[in-house]
Structure 1
Amino acid sequence: MKFSPLAFIMALFVMVSCSSDNDDSQNDLYVNIPDQHFETMLIDQGIDSDGMVNQRMLKTDAEGITVLDVSFSGKGTIKDLTGIEGFVNLKQLSVIQHELEQIDLSSNTQLDTLYLMGNYLKSIDVSNNPNLILLDLKVNSLSSITGLPEAKQLKDLRLSFNSFKEISINNPSLENLLMSHNELTTFNVEGAVNLKNILLRLNKITELDFSSNAALENVFVDNNKLETINFGTKVNYKYLNLHNNLLSQLDVSSYKELVKITINNNPDLSCVKIEAGQEIPTIEKSENQEFSSACE
């Protein structure tokens, strides 16, 4: 038989074309899951329906899931959450105590609850997660977070035990903020006008301004380096934990709903101003400190 170069080229083209079509078909059907521990947990929960650790799962399996909890269970540590982008209808996600250094949640636009405590995350972007209500990122290595203004339903933000040195939060829906045990020196919540509860203990903050936070009730800012704090004109404070700071003056005479205040170990704060007859049920102070309506 006489060799035909043209016939050979055409046959090769058909083979390559078929292979390409097959690859496209595979991409349409499957989402990649490169981390075997992630895939194993999906199999154990009956989510990855083929039941095999083969670095992939059907997209239809992922699309049917609205709640996913793959927190550490003693069966291996997840280091790569690639594949989570296939869970496009996910509303609640828990990936607690693994070894994630990065995560891309840009495809998970329906998320309203996210738990990522105990990982190694240094930054996170939630710009494409506008439905978030609760965001728990405690015990990571975070120094930045992007997209908070877009989370217009966010109520609860938990960032304690991280590496933040500064943060400015512009989110009017936020009510609860936990940021203890960081390295904060600069802190701005002027744009969080509905904030009710704030935990900032064990940072390095020297001044705070809460004059824009009219809904604030409970403030825990002990163990900082606070020299000044502006509480604004609101009067609905209930708990003020201010001990172990460097305050030199304090006026709580307008806070008739105050239930507890701690001011001990502020070496230069000898007198806290109150209104005559004002009663505060629980007071923690040093021996040299007093509460009086006649502070100098």
Structure 2
Amino acid sequence: MKITYPIFIAALFAMASCSSDNDDAQNDLYVSIPDEHFETILIDQGIDSDGMVNQRMLKTDAEGITELDLSFSGKGTIKDLTGIEGFVNLKQLSAIQQELEQIDLSSNTQLDTLYLMGNYLTSIDVSNNPNLILLDLKVNSLSSIKGLSKTTQLKDLRLSFNSFEEISINNPSLENLLMSHNELTTFDVEGAVNLKNILLRLNKIKELDFSSNIALENVFVDSNKLETINFGTNINYKYLNLHNNLLSQLDVSDYHELVKITINNNPDLSCIKIDAGQEIPTIEKSDNQEFSTVCE
């Protein structure tokens, strides 16, 4: 049978159009899951309903999930979390001790709890996660984090054992901050006015200013290079851990709620000023240090 050229071209266009329509239909139905370990866990948990490792899952399966725990599965480590964008109703996500180098959570706007401890992340953007309450990013390779000011419900931020050299936090909802074992030399929490607990041990900070943090109660900043620290007018301090620093003067005479103070191994700090009759239940100090109402 003879096929004229125009008819042949029309047929090709029709076939291409059908193929395109099929691809669009597939994209509307499925989420791509390129990491086989990720998909295997989803199958084992009964989330990927087709039960096959085929690099995809139904969008409806993903949309029905509010809590997802990918940690300690014994099914291999996840390197690529592509597909997580399909879990648009996800509120809690845990992917601890995987091999993630990057993650895109911009579609997971309902997240309130996120555990990503023990990965290889170098940066993360939480600008589209305004409902976060707890953000645990310990033991990664992070040197930056974007969007913290947008997380207006955030209470608990855990960034210990990372590679931060500087950070500025402007988040009035934040209450607990863990940033020990980093490389911090510059640290600013002026905008975290409701901060209650802070852990900064084992960094390289020379000066700290907590004058804006009027709710602060517990301060652990031992093993830095602190020469000065400004506690402001707050009188609610309970625990002050300042040992292994370079402080030369310290006045705690206004802090009558103090339960414990640790100030040993500050070579140039010989006198700590207290108020008359002030009692601190637990004190850890060096032999050459004394507490007095008068320090010259």
Category of TM-score, reference length = shorter chain? over 0.9
Any runs of at least 4 consecutive aligned residues in structure 1 with deviations exceeding 6 A, and if so which? none
Query: 1:20 maps to what in 2?
Result: 20
Distance in structure 2 (CA, Å) of the matches to 1:66 and 1:75? 22
Aligned-residue RMSD, C-alpha: 0.5
* SS of equivalent to 1:7: helix
Deviation at 1:295, TM superposition (A): 1.1
One-letter code aligned to 2:282: T
Distance 2:166 2:198 in 1: 16
What letter corresponds to residue 89 of structure 1 in structure 2? N
Please state how far the C-alpha of 1:14 moved relative to its aligned partner: 1.1
CA–CA distance in structure 2, aligned partners of residues 16 and 229 of structure 1: 69
- Deviation at residue 22 of structure 1 after TM alignment: 0.2
Deviation larger for 9-18 or 203-212: 9-18
- Matched with 1:49 is 49
Letter in 1 for 2:254: S
Once residues 2 and 274 of structure 1 are traced to their aligned partners in structure 2, the CA distance between those partners, rounded to angstroms, is 105
- Whether 1:186 and 2:186 are equivalent positions in the alignment is yes
In the alignment, which residue of structure 2 is the partner of 1:161?
161
Q: Percent identity?
A: 88
When normalised by structure 2's length, the TM-score is: 0.99
Q: Which runs of 5+ in 2 are unaligned?
A: none
Which amino acid is the alignment partner of residue 205 of structure 1? I
C-alpha deviation, 1:34, in angstroms: 0.1
The residue type equivalent to 1:80 in the other structure is: D
> 2:244 aligns to what?
244
Assess if the C-alpha contact under 8 Å between 2:69 and 2:95 holds in 1. Answer: yes
1:40 CA displacement: 0.2
Partner of 2:116: 116
Question: What does residue 257 of structure 1 align with?
Answer: 257
* Separation in structure 1 between the aligned mates of residue 145 and residue 207 of structure 2, nearest angstrom: 22
The corresponding residue for 1:9 is 9
1:294 aligns with: 294
Shift of 1:2: 2.9
Secondary structure, aligned partner of 2:114: strand
DSSP-derived class of the 2:219 partner: strand
State the SS of the aligned residue for 2:109.
coil
Distance in 2 (CA, whole Å) between partners of 1:46 and 1:122 is 32
User: For residues 190 and 2 of structure 1, what CA distance do their matches in structure 2 show?
Assistant: 81
Which whole-Å CA distance do the structure 2 matches of 1:115 and 1:234 have between them? Answer: 32
Is the aligned partner of 1:94 residue 2:91? no
Q: Do 2:41 and 2:73's aligned partners in 1 also have CA atoms closer than 8 Å?
A: no
Q: What corresponds to 2:151 in structure 1?
A: 151
Which whole-Å deviations, capped at 9, do the CAs of 1:143-198 have from their partners, x for residues lacking one?
A: 00000000000000000000000000000000000000000000000000000000
Runs (5+) with no aligned partner, structure 1? none
1:276 deviates by: 1.0
Give the partner amino acid of 1:67.
E
TM-score after normalising by structure 1? 0.99
Structure-1 separation of matches of 2:211 and 2:294: 25
Shift, 1:6, TM fit: 1.5
Partner of 1:212: 212
Q: How many pairs are equivalent?
A: 296
